[in-house]
Amino acid sequence: MSASLQTVSGSVQRVGVVGGGQMGAGIAEVCARAGLDTVVCEADAAAARGARERVAASLERAVRRGRLDRVRAEDALARLVFTGSLDDLADRQLVVEAAVENADVKTGIFAALDKIVEDPEAVLATNTSAIPVMRLGMATQRADRVLGLHFFNPVPVMPLVEIVTSLHTSAETVRTAEDFATATLGKTAIRSQDRSGFVVNALLIPYLLAAIRMAESGFATAADVDAGMELGCAHPMGPLKLADLIGLDTVAAIAESLYGEFKEPLYAPPPLLQRMVEAGLLGRKTGRGFHTYDRG
């Protein structure tokens, strides 16, 4: 291994993030706030500008709410570079893929990163919620350096990261990723085997789908389903509000992945969820899902 990189020793300093949407922007923000040189790659220059605006807005919210001082926010933004070219990730020590939850798209990204990222011992991680890590690792010639780093939304606030290992992931790669998540980013890490949904979504998605079926059948309104779980079970957010926050397209994609792997009926996306996705009613990000939102 190159003396300048020393990835295994926990000295990851140069991070790449592929995808600057809600999750990718959040991952990039926490990396920059941790003092890391961070490059965010989007599909093109226009999307890269949108990603920068997304991170800048999140940092500004943190300042307004007293969670971050102005100088640290400005320093974090200064550590970020936004690009429309994967080639700009060539010198990265760790890359987190946070693209759309589509197996073909993610596989293509990993195949490209395998050719672009120069250090053979760099860690290539995916933020997928449900797609098998093995499938992505096998798109590369370095499956031992591929694993899942699954963050939760909103990334700057949520303290958990799931570390997901495939049958090929090396112990050295796991140590590097765990040190990155805990010592560098200050997150709590839990480990999961490479099964669709991992720990959290394998438990969460059937619950969300049950709530959707309840509303779909007319058994209870969306407002009453959410109020029941918030006030009756002390959940901070009802299941349909949570589905809207996650994004109904993402919920449907995870459900399809879970059902495809396990063939359990409770994992199958309900027809109402599928129709809402087809209609573009995706929750908070579009202004309407099971509830309506002010997009401003």
Instruction: Quote the CA–CA distance of 253 and 35 in Å, as a whole number.
Output: 33
* 129 flagged as catalytic: yes
Among candidate residues 42, 101, 150, 168, the one labeled active-site is: 150
Q: To which H or E segment does residue 193 belong?
A: strand 188-193
Cα atoms in the 13 Å half-sphere on the side-chain side of 49? 2
Q: To which H or E segment does residue 14 belong?
A: strand 14-18
Q: Which residues contact 16 (CB under 8 A, 6 or more apart)?
A: 38, 39, 40, 41, 88, 89, 92, 94, 95, 96, 117
Instruction: Quote the CA–CA distance of 153 and 129 in Å, as a whole number.
Output: 11
* 264 flagged as catalytic: no
Among candidate residues 42, 121, 162, 178, the one labeled active-site is: 162
* 101 flagged as catalytic: no
CA gyration radius, the chain: 19
Helix ranges (DSSP H) in 65-102: 70-78
* 201 flagged as catalytic: yes
DSSP letter at 181? I
Among candidate residues 97, 101, 121, 129, the one labeled active-site is: 129
Asked if residues 40 and 82 have their Cβ atoms less than 8 Å apart, the reply is yes
- 136: region left, alpha or beta (phi > 0 left; psi from -120 to 50 alpha): alpha
CA dihedral 169, 171, 177, 182 (to 10 degrees): 140
| Residue in 170, 82, 165, 162 with CA at minimum distance from that of residue 120 | 170
Among candidate residues 127, 166, 201, 257, the one labeled active-site is: 201
Please list the active-site residues: 129, 150, 162, 201
